């Protein structure tokens, strides 16, 4: 069976979310509720795509010692599990939701040191991807993984003419954007990540436009810059627009950016134009805010939210 979308998560995590009424640092805090979910950016993307009705394959690296939450999620949502297992545990990330402020404090572990043998096994599995399919590269690199691994992966898979969507940061993103691999189809940095890459502050919209144009000039067809509560800027080589989300009550901000990536993938599969893509991807992110875990509300709710997204074209 052909899997048109494959997500790759090299450094997944068990996301343990704790809710407190009011977080006080350096004091005892009483936890009101707690839950654990299979996490990792690519896994979150796959989960949201599955909720949307897209058959998706999830790949990457998972520990042999604590796979239960992941295998349960894959079975529940009919996600094909193509992960390479390594000896040891998948890391745990702790997210503390402060209900009084609405903010979230993240305590993220680095993950286990990964040897080259597992990376080679992963590359071998991904070499079986169908020509022309969509590949999503999401998240950080685990310890022991070369900073240019994503770039190397893209170079090795270049003959397959994959549509590659990238959501990473730091040296991994810099390697992709400055390396010799073909340009990805789409990238989704937040404003800070874009500032880090270009090496300057982007305080004005005109500054962001210039930085995005530098990337589209490198051959990247779509650049999406997330601005948090202010929405996102969407750039192609032909136009640019600002998408602003509707106001809702948020249950959890964890994974909203990953839900947006899933919306971008869904829009790309349907060949939507830039404005339609912006509305759908923003609706995915907003819909995720209403739920805990890597989940989307119903299609009806997403489509309703998409109609409430406001877009305005900006000079490009």
The Cα–Cα gap between 279 and 242 comes to 10
Q: State which H helix or E strand residue 18 sits in.
A: strand 13-20
Which pair of structure tokens corresponds to residue 315?
Answer: 């000079």
The Cα–Cα gap between 300 and 209 comes to 33
Q: Which among 255, 70, 289 is positioned nearest to 297, based on CA atoms?
A: 289
CA angle 17, 57, 141 (to 5 degrees): 55
The Cα–Cα gap between 21 and 150 comes to 40
Choosing from 15, 51, 167, 258, the catalytic residue is 258
The runs of H, that is alpha helices, within 145-255 are 149-157, 170-178, 191-198, 205-216
- DSSP three-state, residue 215: helix
Which pair of structure tokens corresponds to residue 135?
Answer: 């590949």
Count of helices and strands (H, E) across the chain: 10, 14
What one-character-per-residue DSSP string does 43-69 give?
Answer: HHHHHHHHHHT--EEEEEEEESSS-HH
The Cα–Cα gap between 282 and 289 comes to 11
Q: Is 167 a catalytic residue?
A: no
Residue 195 near residue 201, CB atoms below 8 Å: yes
Residues designated catalytic = 258
């Amino acid at each position: 069976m052909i899997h048109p979308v494959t997500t790759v998560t090299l450094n997944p995590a068990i996301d343990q979310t704790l809710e407190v009424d009011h977080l006080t640092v350096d004091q005892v805090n009483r936890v009101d509720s707690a839950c654990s979910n299979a996490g990792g950016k690519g896994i979150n993307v796959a989960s949201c795509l599955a909720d949307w009705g897209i058959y998706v394959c999830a790949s990457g690296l998972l520990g042999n010692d604590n796979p239960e939450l992941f295998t349960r999620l894959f079975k529940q949502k009919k996600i094909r599990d193509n992960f390479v297992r390594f000896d040891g545990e998948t890391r745990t990330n702790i997210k503390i939701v402060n209900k009084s402020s609405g903010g979230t404090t993240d305590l993220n572990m680095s993950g286990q040191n990964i040897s080259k043998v597992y990376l080679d096994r992963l590359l071998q599995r991904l070499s079986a991807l169908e020509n022309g399919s969509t590949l999503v590269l999401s998240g950080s690199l685990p310890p022991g993984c070369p900073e240019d691994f994503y770039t190397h992966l893209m170079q090795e898979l270049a003959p397959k003419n994959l549509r590659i969507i990238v959501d990473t940061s730091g040296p991994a993103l810099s390697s992709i954007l400055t390396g010799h691999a073909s340009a990805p189809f789409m990238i989704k940095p937040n404003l800070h990540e874009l500032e880090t890459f270009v090496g300057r502050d982007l305080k004005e919209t005109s500054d962001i436009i210039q930085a995005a144009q530098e990337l589209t000039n490198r051959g990247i067809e779509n650049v999406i810059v997330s601005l948090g509560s202010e929405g996102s800027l969407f750039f192609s080589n032909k136009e640019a627009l600002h998408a602003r989300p509707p106001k809702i009550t948020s249950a959890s901000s964890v994974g909203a950016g990953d839900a947006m990536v899933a919306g971008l993938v869904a829009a790309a599969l349907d060949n939507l134009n830039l404005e339609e893509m912006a509305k759908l991807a923003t609706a995915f992110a907003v819909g995720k805010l209403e739920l805990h875990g890597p989940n989307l509300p119903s299609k009806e709710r997403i489509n309703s939210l998409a109609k409430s997204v406001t877009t305005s074209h900006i000079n490009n």
